[in-house]
Amino acid sequence: MTQLKHSILYLIVSCILFLGMSYFVSVNKELVFCSANSAWISNDFLLSCFTGIFASFMVLIATEVYKFFQMKRSMEQWLFIQMTTIFGQLHIAETSIQNLLSSRESVPTNLLYYLSNTIKQLTPGMRAFDYNPLFKTKNAKAMIKIIQRLHSAQLSNWESLANDCIYLEIAIGTDKINEHLKGVLTPVITFASPNTNRTLVTLQKEIQHIKSQVTINITELNAACNDRFHWSEVESQISSLSTIDTSLEGFWTRWDKTKSAQVIQ
């Protein structure tokens, strides 16, 4: 986006230059400041060249400006999609942990796999996000503020959460080893298991903190784009998402349902 902005500025300066030269030649035709007429060149020839180049630059400027604003809209939509994707995974992870608080179900080691993987895939592109508007309007300043927050600390915090998710698997493994040492051959690790409990509580707080950051960013982004993305509706749809069953039984159940649907069709 910055490169395209520089191209537009270069075209504008060149356009103004050739406009000035065209104006000078047209005035020179009337007042004859300097004689440009000869057997090979004339004021009319120079005027035709300069005005033709000026008109060409005008067409290029119009084309590049249109391309710039199309790119601007696309980049705003891209950023919205990335953050809503992360928000969705944060919501699912938070809901999954809350469900485990009130149950005796086994805690799966891959509970936070989708969250961790999503953040690791999306944050590099967000770090390279190049948003540089032509005019510093109120909405443009709001967008720049969001991007500055992302680059200053938030993306690092999100990547830290993605790396911290591995500690859940370590905690579950540690609790299993402790149970084996107590003579339990097939231990079931639940939220009540000490290491798993402490790790899940810590990760839950981290998830809630980052979720609030993402929510603020998306809300401000949507406002800066004049509610183009209808965030309130999208948020309600995401909030209604059910948790992901990452167990082997859950996989078999989904497979059976898919197979049954194909048979019906």
H or E, element range at 166: helix 166-181
pLDDT in tens, 153-208: 999 999 999 999 999 999 999 999 998 988 888 888 888 899 999 999 999 999 99
The residue ranges of every structural domain in the chain are 72-246
State CA 9 to chain mean position distance: 27
pLDDT in tens, 224-235: 999 999 999 999
Q: What does CATH list as the number for 72-246?
A: 1.20.120
pLDDT in tens, 39-96: 667 777 788 888 899 899 999 999 999 999 999 999 999 999 999 999 999 999 999 9
Q: Rounded CA gap, 125 and 131, in Å?
A: 12
| 249-263 average pLDDT score | 64
> Can you give the pTM of this predicted structure?
0.82
Contact 21, 49 (CB under 8 A): no
pLDDT in tens, 111-139: 999 999 999 999 999 999 889 888 888 99
Q: Rounded CA gap, 48 and 65, in Å?
A: 26
